[in-house]
Chain A
Amino acid sequence: MKVKVLSGDHAVAYAVKMCNVDVIPNYPITPQTLIIEKLSDFVFDGECDATFMPADSEHSAMSMAIGAAATGVRTFTATASQGLALMHEMLYVAPQTRLPIVMANVNRSLGAGSGIWAEYNDSMPERESGWMQCYVEDAQEAFDTIVQAYRLCEDQRVMLPLMMCLDAFVLSHTVEKVLLPEQAEVDAFLPRFRPLNFLDTQNPKFINIAVTPAHSMEMRYQLDHLMRETSSVVDEVDALFGKHFGRSYGGSIQPYRMEDAEHALITLGTATSTARVAVDELRKEGKKVGLIKLKYIRPFPHEQLRKALRGVSSLGVFDRSIAVNGFGPVFTEVRNSCYGMGMPITNHIAGIGGRDLTVATFKGMFEKIMRKEGAGRDCFWHGLRGDM
């Protein structure tokens, strides 16, 4: 084991190298560029023998990943924001054709009225595409989750692509201590990829052709069902990772001080670390608060979440994006999943466009949750400028 000081992006690149990825199509976009720059260093220095493929666009990068994965090799690509939006069309191809591509998406706000800072309005709309989607909190988790991702995606019960999301700059460009395992340890955890269906002239098959209404519906049903069943494999892979490396993340969700919590907040991404401090401070004041980090939004951990929320009398959900004229997407997911549980659930929007999230921000959320303000209907915005 080695200890290195790495940015979140570089931790991703190290993980990709150690996972013996075969083909890396790529296209630059801030704040993802550190990933592909580091990977190009590895390839050009001969430390990684992946085929590094500079694409003409993110649309082409995902198209290349699909082409390469269809031959049965391990692929990786990375993107952010506008790049992910440009890939949108191609994203829908990979799950239905059962191609276990792993991608890092550095969350950055999308569209006009935004810049290059953290927001989840790039990745959240893609949770309908059939990709597994998860959010990580720090550089170590970014490294570990990439290693877990290949094991998970290539599991023959799964065979789906995964999008690992990490926050722009707060994680992508912030350096932290990262424990890097030995190559042999990664190899022991991650077996060689054994594809099920691939382009093979010895055994010709078609992979994705036109489908008529006679079969299309069953294919969607199968994909939907598969994703539901995959949630237990997520937890299984994380537990196995824990056995191999001595670190694990609770699988789909990670509860914090939830044992006797009456008031809970659901968070995701780097905000979780800050929110934990808020929980600790409120606990010191005798408040029975707890927190659940939602790591995987696809597959959505319905059962795990409902189990962790038993006994909670009011719940808040943090969202770093807004579905305009609706709610934050995580809130919508959680409320649907917890329908019938009885407790009021409120939505707490904060950190949009990369606005700072502080301990006070999360204490403000808990105040509303503890007072049961809003009674399950309201969407609170935290940290707006005073003139709003």
Chain B
Amino acid sequence: MVEKAMTIKTMPQEDQLGSGHGACGGCGLSTAVNNVLRILGPDTVVYAPASCLLVFSAAYPISAFKVPFIYSAFENTGAVISGISAGLRKQGKQTYVVGIAGDGGTFDIGLQALAGAAERNDDVLYVCVDNEAYMNTGTQRSGSTPFGAWTTTTPVGSKTQGKRSFKKDMMCVVAGQDVAYAATLSIAHPNDFVKKVEKAKAMRGFRFLHIMTPCTSGWKTDPAVTYDLARLAVETGMWALYEIENGETTVTYRPEEMLPVENYLKLQGRFRHMSKEDIDTLQRWLCKRWDQRYHTDMVSKEEPKGDKELAMCGEETEGL
């Protein structure tokens, strides 16, 4: 008998990130972290660099984490978790070691330490919670910020409006290092989310989970639309769901048709200023990406059928 994959309904419900932390209402990041840790369970050590997660979850003498937690700096997630893993394995402990860093701590300042851990194939799980800017310090642009977006360092000026370069393809950077597993996740696709965390948990070596986490304060959005944004990001091609294992890329959710990016942009204050020309530029970039992702032989395997209906919002997201 084939073992049934874990779903949002069968996943462990015990919180490792307790309630009472200080995340904003509608924070995508806290939802993502809570659910990753539910699946990893109590035998887990967490490292977080300087980030929203650090600030909203832990300030001496209280901490929302029910598992051991350590912080030290911003740019060293890959290195600290490697050290923790080495120390634990030396003692014969198989405790899960997870580093949870934001996009700034991963795409920019933490890239070198991340690359070191990936190249050594250290036995760690690296989770990037990507809200597309330095939200903890007040929404400065990062290597993850999309084209056109307002941030406090890509302001809407009279000469230049918003970010002028495109979002870095972080998965491509990580996957180029022969890692054990790399996957993208969305909080609007909970079963896909659960399956990927469960899969990463069962593996050894360097594993990378990249989760898009909408940010109500930095994106200038209504906290009520966090899931809609996460879902629309996938339907418009601003985010894609796939995994890379043994160098093989598998799309795990394929949207039926590509929705215009404007559907996604218009819900967010950070894109409100965008000119038609800039929206067209972004759309063209997305179309090219979409074709590469879904219509070329880069996709080496077809996604399993039957997951799609589980992937939507609504009843299935309860408990997340």
Contacts and interface: CB of A to CB of B under 8 A. Distances in A.
A343 to B, nearest CB: 44
B148 to A, nearest CB: 33
B69 A64 contact: no
Interface string A41-80: 0000000000101111101110111111111110100000
B72 interface: yes
Output the residue of B73, B81, B86 with the most chain A CB within 10 A: B86
Given A204-B67, A205-B68, A71 B75 contact: no
A210 B71 contact: yes
Interface residues of B, number: 45
B61 interface: yes
B83 to A, nearest CB: 3
B2 to A, nearest CB: 32
Interface string A185-225: 00000000000000111001111111110010000000000
B115 interface: yes
A49 to B, nearest CB: 9
Nearest to B113: A60
A200 B81 CA distance: 14
Nearest to B88: A71
Interface of A is mostly: mixed
A146 B78 CA distance: 28
Given A56-B113, A60-B113, A208-B71, A67 B78 contact: no
A97 B55 CA distance: 18
A338 to B, nearest CB: 37
Contacts of B70: 67, 70, 199, 206-208
Contact of B76 (A51, A60, A71, A199): A60
Interface string B53-65: 0110011110101
A25 interface: yes
Nearest to B50: A210
Given A60-B78, A206-B63, A209-B60, A199 B84 contact: yes
Interface residues on A, range: 35 or more
Contacts of B253: none
Contacts of A97: 72
A89 B113 CA distance: 15
B10 interface: no
A206 B79 contact: no
A73 B59 contact: no
B283 to A, nearest CB: 38
B72 A64 contact: no
A210 B59 contact: yes
Contact of A64 (B42, B80, B115): B80
A201 B45 contact: yes
A209 B55 CA distance: 9
A204 B45 CA distance: 9
Nearest to A22: B90
A66 B83 contact: yes
A210 to B, nearest CB: 5
Contact of A210 (B43, B54, B112): B54
Contacts of A23: 83, 86-87, 90
Contacts of A239: none
Interface in B105-123: 112-113, 115-116, 119-120
A55 B115 CA distance: 10
Nearest to B119: A56
Given A64-B86, A71-B45, A210-B54, 13 more contacts: A54-B120, A57-B113, A59-B75, A59-B79, A63-B72, A67-B80, A68-B83, A73-B90, A93-B73, A206-B65, A206-B68, A209-B69, A212-B60
Interface of A: 22-23, 25, 51, 53-57, 59-61, 63-73, 75, 89-90, 93, 97, 199-201, 204-212, 215
29 contacts: A23-B90, A25-B79, A51-B89, A51-B90, A55-B79, A56-B115, A56-B116, A59-B75, A60-B78, A60-B112, A63-B73, A63-B79, A64-B80, A67-B86, A67-B87, A68-B86, A70-B83, A71-B84, A72-B91, A97-B72, A199-B87, A199-B88, A204-B69, A206-B68, A206-B69, A209-B59, A210-B54, A210-B71, A211-B59
